[in-house]
Structure 1
């Protein structure tokens, strides 16, 4: 299933005008979830096309013309007890606000967006469009389990010249998803010489334009049999920064867990932050610092990427300048597996949420 355009009926919008935000929920055209499942492919496509359209949003604006927009990715998870909970929506809302401010547009109030995310999940749940918990998901540590992907994004007012948005919308939609990476593909990564972000740029903002180069590189890498592409720093092409859409971690031979330190070229990932907290709680020594490709290839025994979509996903090898280096025995490492199980266990309600990350409605 991964990402699809099967958007849920309830959509949230907020519009900034006259120094304030006006919120509303829009119930897009829909049948019951059972009735929709019985539609023909053509009928379903027609309905979803209508649902994926908000007429008040202008076609020509600073977002569609110049990429002056940002977005978030949050998730809600079916719980073992039958409920649904959202994972750290407060963090997504704060990052969205920071991204909007970074693009010099009015920033949405984080608490307002957090409550909107939760309310949207509630409304779509009441219509029966969200997934329910399945015990068989536990068999593979929830790697193919369903969840709700929630996408808040900014959208600019009409404009065709170079400019910034002073009266943006924030729109929040959602859809059901499963695993992010393609099943059956080996977890090999290609270290690219392309550049994702530069010093003094927008690498720390979750903005639309940041995803152009990573998407192109990742798709080319997939054609060559790689699951992921890894980016080095722009200045020296020496230090590892991120994957195509995810942060990255390394377990060294001495047991230390290392992840590149945050800066203006690295996105402050919420799953990244959570994994750091989990590892420290387990007594693992965690370092946030620069780490070179040479150090990784000589000293790393485990490597994994993190993100809302990726969760905790191990990488079996790096291919750098034509040479492949395998980490450990090529299978998921002990610490990676423990972190993966713990994070997924908390998210799906089979383990105690002692950090207070899961928000209910």
Structure 2
């Protein structure tokens, strides 16, 4: 046994062979190819955080009365490790993920994982699984830290015991297909979050609530759903799992303000910074669905894109709803969308300088 930071490393006794791993990495898709190991850490009242380990990835044993199954105390994160030009691997803004996990924990009445324990967990797992990072322009190791209430009881109160774990998945591009841009469905019947709710927390319930609307989008021939605000059903908020940006013909970039109902995306924040670095006019203010339609039809809106850790930056080409649809620009990645995506990806992959200290080399 050896140690990586706070985590004891117990290598798997039956890892995937190098030959089989190579076959799996040829076309990993997204979220289907998992590595040999995982990180785990437990919390209990009175003892605090304990038992940090990197072990073989295996099923989690839990009681049928575990609190998470009945009261949904659960949060998670998503970040990537990238292969570096000179070898090794690096993480992108991992401290921001650690802090967002803490924010989600506060909202869900869960104990906050100390920042350094979060960082130790993802660093140790990346060092153990560096050979699982696929080659190619879209290849990365996607890390999924998650935490849930593991105490066995029935009763509506915060649990006293929790399990934190991190699993890793070798990934390629998030969206498959030849379409140059995605098509969105505007749902009028469902909302993702309301003021005072959990919209700013990265918890599974937010995504579960979006699935019926996502199914509606697919039935209508769309790739993703876009949600409006819960009060007026007028203001654009975000997609089922991504933030959204609008680009106008004068070079202005607009994205809806956070305000508690929108997840504070780390990719979103990075793109805002990169746009400001380039002297672009960036605004965070409400934008209505009616204005979106009018601006797209008049040509004032030249581009739109969605962003997130999984998909990075994805052009939006068309929007559909029960009221009819409209297209945006050339229904492909516009020049500003492409420039911002390239700037972000080049920093993530070590092909451009990192002026903001976002990259952490871990091995």
TM category (shorter chain) comes to 0.7 to 0.9
Alpha-carbon offset, residue 118 of structure 1: 1.3
Q: Could you tell me which residue of structure 2 aligns to residue 48 of structure 1? A: none
Distance 2:52 2:267 in 1: 29
SS in 2 for 1:315: strand
Mapping for residues 88-107 of structure 1, pairs under 5 Å: 88-107=93-112
Alpha-carbon offset, residue 257 of structure 1: 0.5
SS in 1 for 2:161: coil
Mapping for residues 248-287 of structure 1, pairs under 5 Å: 248-287=244-283
Q: Could you tell me which residue of structure 2 aligns to residue 25 of structure 1? A: 53
Q: Could you tell me which residue of structure 1 aligns to residue 327 of structure 2? A: 326
Q: Could you tell me which residue of structure 1 aligns to residue 133 of structure 2? A: 131
SS in 2 for 1:64: helix
Deviations 1:64-96 (A, max 9, x none): 222211100011111222221111111111100
Structure 1, unpaired ranges of 5+: 29-50, 138-144
SS in 1 for 2:337: helix
Q: Could you tell me which residue of structure 2 aligns to residue 295 of structure 1? A: 291
Contact 1:248 / 1:303 at 8 angstroms: preserved in 2?
Answer: yes
Q: Would you tell me which structure has more strand in proportion to its own residues?
A: 2
Q: TM-score, normalised by structure 2?
A: 0.85
SS in 2 for 1:345: helix
Q: Could you tell me which residue of structure 2 aligns to residue 223 of structure 1? A: 219
SS in 2 for 1:340: helix
Mapping for residues 1-361 of structure 1, pairs under 5 Å: 1-17=28-44, 18-28=46-56, 51-55=57-61, 57-125=62-130, 128=131, 130-134=132-136, 137=137, 145-156=138-149, 157-185=151-179, 187-193=182-188, 194-299=190-295, 300-361=301-362
Distance 2:115 2:308 in 1: 20
Q: Could you tell me which residue of structure 1 aligns to residue 298 of structure 2? A: none
Distance 1:3 1:208 in 2: 18
Contact 2:33 / 2:171 at 8 angstroms: preserved in 1?
Answer: no
SS in 2 for 1:250: strand
Q: TM-score, normalised by structure 1?
A: 0.86
Mark the CA change 1:360 to 1:59 in structure 2 (over 3 Å): closer, same or farther: farther
Distance 2:320 2:107 in 1: 34
Structure 2, unpaired ranges of 5+: 1-27, 296-300
Alpha-carbon offset, residue 122 of structure 1: 0.6
Distance 1:166 1:107 in 2: 13
Mark the CA change 1:173 to 1:6 in structure 2 (over 3 Å): closer, same or farther: same
Distance 2:212 2:200 in 1: 19
Contact 1:82 / 1:133 at 8 angstroms: preserved in 2?
Answer: no
Alpha-carbon offset, residue 260 of structure 1: 0.6
Mark the CA change 1:174 to 1:256 in structure 2 (over 3 Å): closer, same or farther: same
- Superposed CA RMSD in Å reads 1.6
Distance 1:132 1:80 in 2: 13
Equivalent pairs, count: 326
Contact 2:54 / 2:124 at 8 angstroms: preserved in 1?
Answer: no
Q: Once structures 1 and 2 are overlaid, which stretch shifts more, 10-19 or 229-238? A: 10-19
Distance 1:23 1:278 in 2: 40
